[in-house]
Structure 1
Amino acid sequence: MTTTAADLRAALVRQLTADEGLTDPLWRAAAAAVPREVFVGDYFREVPGSFPTSYEPVREGGDGWLQAVYTNQTLITQLDGRIRPADTDGPVAGSPSSSSTLPSLVLRMWQQLDVEAGHRVLEIGTGTGYSTALGAHRLGEENIVSVEVDPDVADRAAACLKTAGHAPHLVVGDGLAGHRARAPYDRLIATCAVRTLPYAWLHQVRPGGKILVTFSGWQFGYGLALLTVTEPGEATGRFLPGWTSFMIARPHDRPPRQNPTLLPGDERPARIDPAVVTDWTGTWVAQLAAPSAERIGAGGQQILIDHATGSQARTRPDDRGGWIVTQRGPLRLWDQVEDAVEAWQAVGAPHQEQFGITVDGGGQRVWIGDEDGPGWRLPL
């Protein structure tokens, strides 16, 4: 039975190689060398069946702690931007705000970034420092700049990196502004999600350089894209296969949620089955169509509330096996969603990996197939 950290780490690398496509020998070597247990410490685990979702602390060194560290899973290390496992002895409700991301995703993204020896990398979101350590091991600490917005998280990551023998350049600040002092960079990798690509990044990554980032929104659609900077301020790329989710960057998060008051509005039959927006790519399409709306619901009964205008849309079944939509406010949210879903379905309802993205001074456009295909332009 494997019980030491080295044995468990080696077993995890074997699993990631066999099951998760860890094909690059240099990244396998990094995974085998970097001790994840140094970066985790105490963490939260979800209390099964709790509503609203609650989390209980798991103490470093306790029964099963080391085995969990070397399981391919995300370990939550902070709630609501302030609550740490050390702050509570029992279950506590909250929203995850920092974590040690599952190793397979971290390593897959480093592989997808297509780095080479000598490349200078800007990492957005130091988090626990584990991903930063992997990059420093592979590329050399002098080539890694990592930005973390939370001072307490940054301080702990710095201490963990020192313990692990790494000293990359660490910055406490808004990662959406990048770090101009050490630009230009050959690569940028983000371990948080964004609604729109920060314009600063497009001027700090050199032309020909690449940006790997997860796009998300308030409907919790996610898409991992690899963009190439074509000239200062402009980039284009495609969304990658697979499923990826990250906590959204704090400045891009939705306003505080309030219990919605659903008001009367205009009613009509819905043209699409509302359940389509619960599919991975269907959620993505709906989010592109109504980018400032939050979606609440399950199955065919959906509620959209627009944070910018207060507009609402909600669906309910009718007595003939169809659906009725009620809308009010200056935006007809469900009209926007239906138009987008029908455009997506008209080209075969492709998976998200058939989407691309172009960003320039005119905004951000997500498209299907090629740059002349149907798409949606969002403001930067």
Structure 2
Amino acid sequence: MLRLVATSLCLRCQHAAALPLNLRPCVTLSSAENQQTVEDLYDLSVDIQKVRKLKGWVLHQSQAYTKQVAEVLKDMGASGSSISQILAVHPEAVLCHPEKMQAQRELWMSVCPNQKELIGIIEKFPASFFTSSSHHDNQRNNIAYFQSLNLNKRIITKLMASAPQSFSRLVEQNKVMVRTLQQAYRELGGEEANMKIWLQKLLSQNPFVLLKPPEALRQNLLFLRDKGFSTAELLHLLSKLRGFVTELNPDSMRRTLAYSQDAMGCSEAELRDIILNCPAVLYYPETILADRIKCLLSAGISMSQIILTPTVLELTTQIIIYRIQRLRASGYDVRTGSLEVLNGTKKDFEASYGKLQLRRERPIFNPVAPLRGDD
């Protein structure tokens, strides 16, 4: 059996579970399960069968720090159920040396307001916290850089949790992308006083924008400019698309715009208005748009209604069908009424539906009708 030295905090290989035992890097392998690890996990009420099924290789490591890791988490304020949940979802944590884990704790606490919030982050993003110790210098440098931009600490924490790759890489790479975003913002007429707020919002809504190539942003903005969008409209799209503009490319946008214009039978100017009212249309592939338009039309909704309220295209076909059925049950005819009632989150829709129900159940008061007296 091949034996490799464990040099990472927790397994740098993200695909280790899918590899044969003799090919997994950065681990010390054993032919049998480490019974001490199994017993320690049992004592912590961790679902061993789940661990065996999803990441059984962890149980074969000759060195583990299960009790010590659990103790550090407990010291941070984690409950017993939280610890068992964390270790069931991310059992690699037991391979983390306690000293390395303490170093991570100190690093995260430099931007996290308190340990309670940090435990909440670890519960949701354990892989982000139990990352390789070889990335600590990059993490520190990136934290210092984003703090120098005067970004809110909560934004920095969210970036570290949801897009840990951006903090594990060299700070120079993030600097290039941030400078590209700032330059685009200025060139599109963004006000310098609002720069920080704009950047915080964009990074918060789409942390992975940092991992995109800067050239993609420039190419997409040039493409949209050629399609007739003004400078102010481009700034609107860059903000509303939450950074998705960096995930698009001219070819995909060209196909989507061509399909949308043909399906809706509108002019280029009208299509730009539709995109500005619902930037997500620019993001969806034509196959998804085709399915949603077909679903709406089959319910008796006209294309003119869709053009008037294009945000309905953000809804999946399942949601469209469900909401239309609910509205019909309440007596609302989507074929003649506004489609705005279809829009929004589940909470928004339930609020609109509740108002319709009240209107349906409330008796209509006629101020000139004679009052009924006793016979």
Q: TM-score, normalised by structure 1?
A: 0.23
Higher RCO (Cα < 8 Å, 6 or more apart): 1
Q: TM-score, normalised by structure 2?
A: 0.23
Greater helix content: 2
| Rg larger for | 2
